[in-house]
Amino acid sequence: MTRRQDRIVRALTQAFAPLELQVEDDSHRHHGHAGARPGGETHYSVRIVAEAFTGKSAVARHRLVNEALADEFKSGLHALAIDARSP
């Protein structure tokens, strides 16, 4: 795992105690696109299943994940594909 990937896992685990969590670095797929950097660690996909999302809309779930990762966005995370579900 990349350093940013470790931090994403840690932040989402602390925020949501997920039942399932997968974080993939997709930066290699975005080489040459907006926000891409030579070292990567800019584009990620997240699949998370947590009780915290129960009763929340998809938009609300995405907002919660983005809020939990606000520091990562401030430090170079450019794009995040989110699949957030309740159990």
Concatenated DSSP letters of 39-57: T--SEEEEEEE-GGGTT--
Class of domain 3-85: alpha beta
In a 13 Å sphere around the CA of 34, the CA atoms on its Cβ side amount to: 2
- Digit-coded pLDDT (tens) for 11-62: 999 999 999 999 999 886 655 565 555 556 788 999 999 999 999 999 999 9
End-to-end CA distance of the chain: 26
pLDDT at 28: 64
Q: How large is the average pLDDT for residues 56-81?
A: 95
Domain boundaries, the chain: 3-85
Long-range contacts of 28-34 (CB under 8 A, 24+ apart): 30/78, 30/79, 34/78
